[in-house]
Amino acid sequence: MATVKIKLDKRKSSQTKEGKFPLVLRIEHQSMTRDIPFNIHLKPNQYNKDTGVIKGITNAVRHSKRTQKKYRDIDLWLDENYELIKLWSIKNLKLELERKFFNKQSTLSVLNHGAKYLGRLILEDRHSTASSYQDALKYLIKYRMKLARKSDKVIIKSLYQRDTKGELQVKDEYQEFDLPIKALDSGFAKDLRAYLTNRFDSKNTVNIVLRSLQAILNDAADTIDELKDHRPFAKIKKSSFENAPVALTMEEINLIRGLTFVKDAPLFHVRNYFLFMFNNMGMNFYDLALIKVFQFEDDRVKYFRKKTLYEGDYFSIKQNDESLAIIEHYIKGKEKQDYLFPLIPNGTPTNRIHRVKNDKIVWFNRYLKTIAKMVGIEKNVSSYTVRDTWTNIGLDLGIDIRQISSGLGHSSVKVTEKHYGKVIQEKILDEINARITALK
C-alpha cells in the first residue's frame, strides 16, 4: 500500500549554501520512494518530525498548518483510492499527486491539452475531426472511471464547456479523472487497448479511438518541449482492418437507373444522389451534401474534397446528361450560395454541419438498402458502395490504377492498393489462372 510522510531531504546534493534542506512529501510505493517538494527550505532544528511543526521562519504557523493539511488530505485520498492506486507505478502516482494536490502539470494533462487541440480544430472548421477526437477522450475518461470503481456506462455529452473568453475548459465533474500526459505511458496505453478491445466488438473502433488519442498526444509532443519524446502509442499497432468492398455491376447500376419514384419522395432523392455520386467518380456523400449552386458552372461541378481539403484535392468534373438532368431538378429557384441538394439546410452553423451530415448518411443508407432490395440486389450496400463500384468497374475496364487513384482523391497509389488490394489481387490471379488453364 502506498504511504506518505513529511521529511527533510537531507541528501548532500539537496543542501543549500545556508545549510538548509528542502521539506518534501516522501512517497513510498512498491518498494520505491519519490519526493515532492513543498518549496520550503529549513535547517534541521526548524522542523519537528514528530509534531510537524515548523519554526524559525516567516509565517511558520501558516506553513505548518498548510503542510499538515495537505498531508492529511493526501493520506485520506490514498486510503480511499487504494484499489486504483495499487495498479499504478510510483511514477504515475507521483504525477497524479502533483496534479491533484500540488497544482503541477495542470496545463500538461490529457484533457487540458485536448481542450487546446480541439479548440484549434474548431477554429479551422474541422468540426468532424474535433468531435471524433473528443469521443476518443470520452472513452479514456470512462476507462479512468472504471479504474476508480465507478460506472463507465454513463453517457458523456461533452467533456468541455466554454469559459467567458469562449475557450474550452474541462468540466468540473471530469477533472478528477484527468491525468498528466506523462502518466499516460506505454503500459497505460496497452491497458487502455485491452479495455477497449473488451468493450467493442469491432477492431476498427478500437483502433480509431487509439489513433485519435495518439494524434492528441503527438500534437502535445510537437508543441511542448518537455513532451517531445513522449509518444506512448508509437509501438501499439493501430492499423485499420479494411472492410471488403461492396461493388455493384454495371447491370445492377442500370437496374437502379430504371426505377421511377414519386417526385421528391425519399426514394426519389436517394436514387438521384446515388447516381450523381457514381457519375462523379464515386463522390463522397459529405462532398455531395456540401456542394453549393455556384460550384456548378459550364456543365462542370468544381469542389475540394472535404476529407483531404488540407492536401488541396481539387476536382472539376464535366457532367454527363444524367447528372445534368439531376442538377436541373434541384437548382431551380436557388441562390448562388444555397446548397445544391436539400441535405443540409441553408444557414446551418459550421459547428453543426457534420452532425447534420451524420444524420443524413444514416437516412441515405436506409433508403439505399430499400432500393437495392427492390431490384433484387442482395448486397450490403451503403454510401461507400458508390466508390467501390466506380473503382471496380474502372479496374474491369483495364484503366491504370494510377488514374483510378487520382480520381478517388487518394494521396498515393499505395492508399488505393491498401483499400482495394484484395480486389486487384483477385483480378490479377484470375487473369493468370485463366491463361494457364487455357493451355493445351
- Radius of gyration over alpha carbons of the chain, in Å? 30
Question: Any idea which fold 250-436 has?
Answer: hpI Integrase; Chain A (1.10.443)
Grid coordinates representing 25 are: 512529501
Under DSSP, the state recorded for 242 is P
Helices (H) and strands (E) in the chain, counts: 16, 8
Measure the CA–CA gap between 335 and 389, rounded to whole angstroms: 33
Query: Residue for cell digits 476498427?
Result: 204
Digitized pLDDT (tens) for each residue of the chain, 440 residues in all: 899 999 999 998 889 888 999 999 999 999 999 999 998 999 999 999 999 999 999 999 999 999 999 999 999 999 999 888 988 888 889 888 987 888 765 558 899 999 999 999 998 888 888 999 999 999 999 999 999 889 999 999 999 999 888 889 999 899 889 988 988 989 899 999 999 999 988 788 898 999 999 999 999 999 887 888 889 998 887 665 555 678 899 999 999 999 999 999 999 999 999 999 998 888 889 889 999 999 999 999 988 877 555 444 677 888 999 999 999 999 999 999 999 999 999 988 887 888 888 889 999 999 999 999 999 999 999 988 888 887 777 766 665 556 555 555 544 545 444 454 455 455 544 554 555 555 54
Q: What span, in angstroms and rounded, lies between the C-alpha atoms of 129 and 137?
A: 13
Alpha helices in 200-320 (DSSP H): 203-223, 250-257, 266-279, 285-290
DSSP string, 17-32: TTS-EEEEEEEEETTE
Domain boundaries, the chain: 3-101, 106-227, 250-436
pTM over cut 0.75: no
The span from the CA of 398 to the CA of 395, in Å, is 5
Evaluate whether 353 touches 256 at the Cβ level (below 8 Å): no
**Beta pairing partners, 318:** 300
Strand pairing partners for 9?
none
**CA–CA distances in Å: residue 120 to residues 1, 125, 127, 161, 347:** 42, 9, 10, 15, 23
Of 194, 198, 207, nearest to 241 by C-alpha is 207
State the residue for C-alpha cell 502506498.
2
How far apart are the two ends of the chain, measured CA to CA in Å? Answer: 79
Reading phi first (left if > 0) and then psi (alpha if -120 to 50, else beta), residue 36 is in: beta
d(CA 199, CA 266): 36
User: The cell 459547428 sits on which residue?
Assistant: 351
